[in-house]
Amino acid sequence: MKRELLNVQLFKTRKSNLDKAKEKLKTEFSGIDSVIDQVCESISGWYCFNELQNKPLVVNLWGLTGTGKTSLVNRLTTLLELDNIFFKHDMRNTKPKEFGEICDSLHKKFNNEPYVLLLDEFQQGKTIDVNGESSTNEYQIKIWELLDSGRITIDYNFSVVENLIRQIERCNEILDSGCKVQNGVIVTIGQAMKTGLRVKSNRKIRNYFSSNYSEIEKGEDCVQDSYYDDILELSSGRFITETEMGMFLHSLNGHETVEFLNELMITAFKPRNINGTKGLIFVAGNLDDAYHMSSSFSNEADADEFYKESKKISLQDVKQALSELFRKEQISRLGNIHVIYPSLNKQAYESIIAKELSRLSSEFQEMTDIKLCFNRNFLVKIYEEGVIPAQGTRPLFSVIQFMGRAQLPNFMQEFLSKGETINTIIVDYNEKLIKASYLNNGDECFQSQHVFVSNLDLVKERRNKDHRYVVATHEAGHTIACILLLNQIPKRVTSLSSGNDSLGYVQMKGPKTTFKSDVLNWLSVLLAGVVAERLVFGDDHLATGSYGDYAQATTHIVDLIKEGKINEVPGVYVNPGPFSNSYLNGISKHLNTEAEAWLKKANDACKQLLQGHQKALIVLSEKLLEVDCLNMDDLRVFAEVELGCSPPDSEDELHTYAACFEKRKRELTTGSLPELEDSSFHKNRIA
C-alpha cells in the first residue's frame, strides 16, 4: 500500500491561518495575550495534523465570569472558518435532548471527521452533590465518554424518534376516524370515531404532542413532507434522495404507510456508534473555589490586586477546585491542558474602554460625518461605574452602552435643534453631568449637558451619614494596626464603599507565610476595627462589619490549629464524617479552648496598641470622613507624622522561608547552634 505523503502546502496554509488568527485575537481581546498564546499552541496539532489524531483534544478554560472564555472560542472558530463544524452545549441545560441533537449531527455528518465542541458553564454539570455523593445522569455519562475516548453509543435519535411518533399517531388517527388513503393521499374524509380518543369533528384530528386540533383536507398527504428528512435518515440507505422516498410513500395505502413507519421505529431504537475521535473539545467554566477573591462585588476593588492574586492560581489549585465538583476519574478525563485565565488588570480594562469608544466614534462618524471625542474624565467615570473585577467585562460593556451609545440621540437632538454646522463633538463628565462641546473646525459653537444618574453615587448617598463615623473609626483601627504590626502601608482605605458586601474596607496584603510569630499580629489586625469602635464609641455602637471581622479571625486561627501548623500536637483534625476515620476528632473541646486563647490574646494586644495611639486613631478617622478614601501616599504621610514610622515599600525580607533557612545555615556554620548528638536515621528510628 502506497504511503500518503504530507500535503506541505496545506500544512503551510493551516499554520499561516492559525498564526494570523492568533494575532487578530490579540487586537480584539485585552489583557489575555498569554491565554491566546496557550490556546493557539494547544490546538495547533489538531488544526494542522488532524489526520493523526486518535482521540479528542480537550482544552480546558477556567476563569472568572466575563473574562472572555466563551467569546474567545466563538471568535477563534470564526477566524479559522470552522463555524460549519462548531457545536456549543451549555451544561446548565440538564435535559438530554440538546446534547442528543449534537450526537445526531456527529453521527450523521462528522463520524470520524473533525469537529469543534464547546461545553460551556462546565461547573454546572457537577457530578458530586453538596453531601459529597455522586450524582450522574445518563446524558452526562455520554459527555464523559466523549471526553475520554471520543467513542460513544447512543440508543436512539431523540428528535427523529419524536417526529416519527408524531407521524405514526397522525396516520393512525386518520385511519381510525374513517379516512381512506390511496397512493399516500387522503381521498375520503371518514365519519367514525376512535373509542377513548374523541376527534373534535370529522374534519379535525388531534395533535398528540400539543393537545390541539389540526385540519385535514381531502387530497392531503398522509405523511407530511416536512418530516421526509427524518424518515430518510432512518431508512438505512434504502433511498438515496427524498424524491425517491416520496415516490415510494405515494405508492402506499394507509395501512401500508403505518406498517412502513413502524418498521422505521424499530430501526430508530437500534444503538448507533459515534466516532468522535477527531474532535476538538473546549471545556469552559468558572471555579469560584480557585478564584477565592471572586466573592467581592465592589466597584472599589482593585483590579490590579485581583490580577496579581489570579496569577498565583496554579494547576493544582484548579484540580483541587474541580475535586469539589467531579470525581477523580472524571478529572483525569479532562486531561492536563488547563488554561487559567487571569483576572483583567486596570490596563486591560482601560484598553477595553478605549477600544469600545473608538469603535463607537468610528461608527458615529461614518453615519454623520461628525468626529466624536471623549475626554479623560469621561473615561475615568466609565471605569469607576463599570469595573467590578469579580464580574469581568459584562458590567463594563453595559456601562459603556449606557454612558456612550445611549447618549448619541441626545447629542444629535441638540445639534439638529441649533441648526449650526459642526464637525466635532467632545464629550466630558463633571459633577454628575455628561457634557458635550460642539465644534466646527476647532471653534466651539455651543455646549449641552445631561444629568447622568450614577448607580455608584446613589449607593453612597443612601449610606447613613451618622453611621459613617463608626465605619471611619473601624477602618482607621485596621489601618493603624496594619502599619504598626505588619510593617505595611495599605494600598487603599475607604470609609464609603459602593459594594453591598462591605461599608468600608482596607486594601492590604495578608501574610504570605504561616510563621507562628506572625499569627498573633495578623489576628490583631483582623480584630482592630472592632477594638477601635469600642475604644471610641463603647460596646453599644458596633458596626455590622463586626461579625465579618470576627468570622475571618476565627476561621483563620481554627484552620491553622486543625491543620497542625501552630498547635502542639503534630496531627490534623477534621470534623466527623464519612472520610474522617483517619484523622483526629475536629470537634474536641481543647481545640476551641486553644482557639479562644489565641483570639483573646490578640484582642488584648490590639486593645493595648490602639490605646497608646488614640490620638492617631481620631486623626485618621477624621481624614476618612473628609475625603472618603486615602491612597498609599496619603497613608505614608500619616504614618510618618502621627505614628512616627516609615514602613518599607518592599515586603519584609526577613519574613520568608529563604531568610530563615539562610539564618539557620549561618548558625550551623559558625557553630553558634550545636548539632544533634547523633544524626543517624537508623539508630534513632522507632521500632
Assign 679 a pLDDT band (cuts: 50, 70, 90).
Answer: very low
User: Residues 382-409: pLDDT tens digits?
Assistant: 998 888 888 888 889 989 998 988 889 9
Instruction: Report the chain's C-alpha Rg in angstroms.
Output: 35
Give the mean model confidence (pLDDT) for residues 32-38: 95
Say if residue 440's pLDDT is above 90: yes
Residue 278: its pLDDT value, please?
A: 93
Tell me the whole-structure pTM to 2 decimals: 0.68
Query: For 346-459, CATH number?
Result: 1.10.8.60
Of residues 247 and 682, the one with the higher pLDDT is 247
Assign 685 a pLDDT band (cuts: 50, 70, 90).
Answer: very low
- Let me know if 24 is exposed, middle or buried by CB neighbors in 10 A (0-12, 13-18, 19+): middle
Give the mean model confidence (pLDDT) for residues 42-55: 91
Q: Which of 293, 332, 337, 330 shows the shortest CA–CA distance to 315?
A: 337
Residue 204: its pLDDT value, please?
A: 45
Domain boundaries, the chain: 8-155+276-340, 158-270, 346-459, 464-666
Amino acid residing at 468 = R
Distance CA 450, CA 428 (A): 11
Say if residue 585's pLDDT is above 70: no
- Would you state the cell numbers that stand for residue 290, as one nine-digit string? 480557585
Q: With contact defined as beta carbons under 8 Å apart, do 573 and 562 qualify?
A: yes
Length of the chain: 687
Supply φ then ψ for residue 188, to 5 degrees.
Answer: -140, 135
The residues with which 86 forms a beta bridge, in sequence order, are 116
- Let me know if 669 is exposed, middle or buried by CB neighbors in 10 A (0-12, 13-18, 19+): exposed
The three state secondary structure string of 275-330 is ECCCEEEEEEECCCCCCHHHHCCCCCCCHHHHHHHHHCCCHHHHHHHHHCCCCHHH
Q: Which of 88, 86, 75 shows the shortest CA–CA distance to 35?
A: 75
User: Residues 556-581: pLDDT tens digits?
Assistant: 888 888 776 676 666 666 666 555 45
Positive or negative, the CA dihedral 505, 508, 511, 517 is: negative
Give the mean model confidence (pLDDT) for residues 505-522: 75
Of the CATH numbers 3.40.50.1370, 3.30.590.10, 3.40.50.2300, 3.40.50.300, which one belongs to the domain with range 8-155+276-340?
A: 3.40.50.300
Residue 642 is given by DSSP the state I
Of residues 445 and 273, the one with the higher pLDDT is 445
Positive or negative, the CA dihedral 32, 34, 35, 39 is: positive
The residues with which 78 forms a beta bridge, in sequence order, are none
Percent of the chain at pLDDT above 70?
Answer: 79
Classify domain 464-666 at the CATH topology level.
Methane Monooxygenase Hydroxylase; Chain G, domain 1 (1.20.58)
Alpha helix ranges (H) inside 63-157: 69-79, 96-109, 138-148
